[in-house]
Amino acid sequence: MKIKSRVWYWLAAASGAVSLLYGMGIEGGAQLGSSISDSQFVTALCLVLAAVAFLRLGFAAEAEENRRHCGRIRRTHARNPEYPENQERGA
C-alpha cells in the first residue's frame, strides 16, 4: 500500500512546525545569554531538511496518483443506441 500525497504533506507541515518551534526555543535561549550548541543546530537543521524531503515525497506521490488516472480509457462517450453492438438482440 502506497502512502498518499496528503500524508506526506501533513508530515512536512508537522516537521516544519516542530522545527520552527525548536528554532524559536533556541533563539529565546540565545537572547537570555546561553550559547547555541552544535547538537541544537544540527537538530533544527535536520528537522527543516526532513520537512523539505517530506514535501518532495508528497509532490512525487501526487504525480504518481495523477499518472495512474491519466492512462485510463473511458468508453462512456461511445454509448450510442444506434451502434450495432448496443442494439438488443431480439426475434
Torsion angle defined by CA atoms of residues 23, 24, 26 and 27, in that order, rounded to the nearest 10 degrees: 120
Mean local confidence (pLDDT), 10-36: 94
Give me the pLDDT at residue 10, please. Answer: 96
pTM listed for this prediction: 0.69
Q: What is the pLDDT of residues 46-91, one digit of tens each?
A: 999 999 999 999 999 998 888 766 666 666 655 665 666 655 665 4
Local structure of 1: helix, strand or coil: coil
